[in-house]
Structures are given as structure tokens and as C-alpha cells.
């Protein structure tokens, strides 16, 4: 499906499952950023049923596509941005996660991953995950958390572009309020 959209350089696809049941989510890693952008732009908002492996219960759902900062976090300051993304994502003393928690009303919000040094949760997975804790009747708060997190990521990327001024890399600056 991605190949037909023009995104021909897929490096890896990780389908997320829980107890052998699809969670309806996947990570797709591309070799070239422009192919990731192409796939994101073409897939965003498409009916889930347009994906060949979609289940019948997904007929009314639409695809939501987001960029992941996991690969950039793994590389520390050696990534394309020249900034430690884990630090930027967490904010000073974990403030970004506190903001997501407060804006969403969730019980707990944290980042996990192998490269989390402080104010995150260290585990063996090299990818970074936003982990939220909630009760069944609070499921709508998860969407609020994703919206707030998306705004934070947008601000981080705007700041990276602003500071790099086309030079390709910013050199480690404090997280924006």
C-alpha cells in the first residue's frame, strides 16, 4: 500500500499488538525523510478501510499519522537536529509531561525508553513511548493528551527550524515554554 502511494523506501514496519490482537497502530520507519513526509501527507485522514489489511469494524474510522521522535532520541545530539530530543520532549524537570497530564486530566503521563536519563522511565526499548495511565471511564482523556502532545511536538519542531535558520542543525537549547 505504501509503495503504491510513492513511499518506496520502507525500512521497517512494526505492527502493534496486545495479546495477539491488533491495536490498530503501527510504526513505519523510512530510509528517507521525504518518503515519510509523502506517506504522512497521503495517509492522514484517509478511511481506515482503504488499507488492505483493515478490519470491517474500522469502516467509519480515519487514519491518524504522526511523526515519531524515537530514532532521533536514540542518536542523542548526533541526530539531524543536533539537539538531544529526549531532553526537549521531556522539558526541564519533566515539565512537558506535567503539562500533558494537567491538560488531559490523566492520572499519570511519562516517557519511556532506553535513553531516558531523568524524569522519564528507563526500559530496554530503544524507541521512546508516551505512556498514559487512565481508568476505563477516562478514555476520552487519552485523545486530549495526544492533542496536547502534538502541539508540544509542533512547537519543538518550529523552534528547531527557527534556530537552525536553514543550517540543518540547532545546537541544544532549552525547551520552550
Q: Quick: pLDDT tens for 79-89.
A: 767 777 778 88
CA distances from 127 to 29, 72, 124, 130, 174 (A): 12, 9, 9, 10, 22
CA distances from 107 to 5, 79, 135, 172 (A): 39, 32, 8, 31
| Contacts for 126 with CB less than 8 Å, ≥ 6 apart | 70, 74, 113, 114, 115
pLDDT, residue 101, reads 95
Max avg pLDDT among 20-29, 33-42, 58-67: 33-42
3-state secondary structure of 102: helix
CB-based contact 40:67 (threshold 8 Å): yes
* Bridge partners of residue 136, in order along the sequence: none
Give me the mean pLDDT over the 5-13 stretch. 81
In angstroms, rounded to a whole number, what is the distance separating the alpha carbons of residues 73 and 42? 26
CA 157 vs. chain centroid, Å, equals 12
CA 11 vs. chain centroid, Å, equals 17
Task: Name which of 28-32, 56-60, 75-79 the model is least confident about.
Answer: 56-60
CB-based contact 126:119 (threshold 8 Å): no
Question: What share of residues in the chain are helix, strand, coil (percent, to 5)?
Answer: 45, 20, 40
Task: Name which of 7-11, 103-107, 132-136 the model is least confident about.
Answer: 7-11
pLDDT, residue 25, reads 75
Amino acid at each position: 500500500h505504501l509503495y503504491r502511494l510513492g513511499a518506496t523506501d520502507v525500512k521497517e514496519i512494526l505492527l502493534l499488538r496486545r495479546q495477539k490482537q491488533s491495536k490498530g497502530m503501527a510504526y513505519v520507519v523510512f530510509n528517507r525523510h521525504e518518503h515519510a513526509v509523502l506517506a504522512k501527507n497521503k495517509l492522514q485522514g484517509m478511511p481506515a478501510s482503504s488499507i488492505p489489511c483493515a478490519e470491517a469494524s474500522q469502516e467509519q474510522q480515519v487514519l491518524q499519522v504522526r511523526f515519531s521522535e524515537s530514532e532521533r532520541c536514540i542518536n542523542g545530539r548526533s541526530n539531524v537536529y543536533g539537539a538531544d530530543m529526549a531532553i526537549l520532549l521531556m522539558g526541564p524537570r519533566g515539565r512537558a509531561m506535567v503539562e500533558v497530564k494537567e491538560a488531559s486530566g490523566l492520572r499519570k503521563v511519562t516517557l519511556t525508553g532506553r535513553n531516558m536519563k531523568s524524569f522519564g522511565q528507563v526500559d530496554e526499548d530503544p524507541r521512546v513511548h508516551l505512556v498514559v495511565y487512565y481508568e476505563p471511564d477516562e478514555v476520552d482523556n487519552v485523545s486530549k493528551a495526544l492533542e496536547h502532545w502534538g502541539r508540544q511536538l509542533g512547537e519543538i519542531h518550529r523552534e528547531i527550524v527557527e534556530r537552525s535558520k536553514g543550517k540543518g542543525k540547532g545546537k541544544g537549547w532549552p525547551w520552550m515554554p
